[in-house]
Structure 1
Amino acid sequence: MNAPNRSELFVLEDGEKAVEIIEDTKIPNAATIKVVKEDHTLANMLRAQLLASPSVLFAGYKVPHPLQPYSILKIQTDGTVTPADVLTQSCHRLIGTLSTLEAKFKREFSFKDVEGAAVSEDPYGVPSTGGPTWPGGRDYLDF
């Protein structure tokens, strides 16, 4: 197949930069950011965080081809802050959001472990009473 080795899609080579910022010469206060070894997952989250900033006029991304492991992010600001600075701020906000989500996720599962200790449940959430039974009190393994 033409597909590259799986590790080439996410492991940076020696001397390879993860992020490259190119200032746009045709549009004022705009830049193109090439994020290497990342795909739609990170690019879409960054785009959403960038659009939440009041100083961002435009933020969009594209992944040129699935076999090329990079995404291109375009940012235009109103001039009060540079595209590189607003990207840095958005990354910090995104890291904070993901940390909060992780803490909530861990807290919910720690409550589930404490509550679930008294009654055992099967994977579908049905309380277990010692095994499934057929009508008449027989176990389904009794023939």
Structure 2
Amino acid sequence: MNAPNRFELFVLDEGEKLVEISEDTKIPNAATFKIVKEDHTLGNLLRAELLNDSRCLFAGYKVPHPLHPYFQLKVQTDGSVTPSQIVTETCQSLLEKLASVEAKFKREFTFVDVDGAPKDMGPYGAVDPTSWEGGKDYLDL
């Protein structure tokens, strides 16, 4: 088929850079970042986090074609910081937030293993659906 091999979607080729930056000559304090081997997941996350920063005037991304594993992120700042700096700061902020979420997630699942937890406790903290009548995964009301 037309689809590339799966490993080509996430393994960098020899000499391939993960990020390419090109300054915009028509718009002041703007740049376009080509981020290789990533998709909408990271693009939307970066865009949303950039727009939370008051120094960022514009942030948007596009995936030019679904069979090509990269996206382009366009960023314009107010001039107090360069686009490269704000993207770097945003990535560091996202890494901190994700580490916090991971720590909270692991902490919640360790509470399930504590003595005194109900015997029918499921892996997500809710009552195990197999303990309901008939072993259904839903509850008839």
Whether the TM-score (by the shorter chain) exceeds 0.5 is yes
Q: Which residue matches 1:112?
A: 112
Q: TM-score, normalised by structure 1?
A: 0.84
Larger gyration radius, structure 1 or structure 2: 1
**Structure 2 runs not aligned, ≥5 long:** 135-141
Work out whether residues 62 and 73 of structure 1, in 8 Å CA contact, stay in contact via their aligned partners in 2. yes
Residue of structure 2 aligned with 1:125, choices 110, 127, 140: 127
Q: TM-score, normalised by structure 2?
A: 0.85
Q: Which residue matches 2:43?
A: 43
Deviation by residue 1:49-103 (Cα, 9 ceiling, x = unmatched): 1111111000000111110000000000000000000000000000001000000
Q: 1:23 to 1:116 in 2, by over 3 A?
A: farther
Could you tell me how far 1:127 is from its partner in structure 2?
8.4
Q: Distance in 2 between matches of 1:108 and 1:117?
A: 12
Structure 2 residue identity aligned to 1:52:
N
Q: Which residue matches 2:10?
A: 10
Equivalent residue pairs, number:
132
Q: Which residue matches 1:19?
A: 19
Q: Which residue matches 2:33?
A: 33
Displacement over 2 Å in runs of 4+: 115-118, 120-124, 126-129
Q: Which residue matches 2:82?
A: 82
Deviation by residue 1:98-134 (Cα, 9 ceiling, x = unmatched): 00000010011111121575524467724888x968x
**Structure 1 runs not aligned, ≥5 long:** 134-143
C-alpha root-mean-square deviation of aligned residues, in Å? 2.3
Q: Distance in 2 between matches of 1:10 and 1:32?
A: 21
Work out whether residues 120 and 127 of structure 2, in 8 Å CA contact, stay in contact via their aligned partners in 1. no
SS in 1 for 2:114: helix
SS in 2 for 1:91: helix
Q: Distance in 2 between matches of 1:19 and 1:77?
A: 19
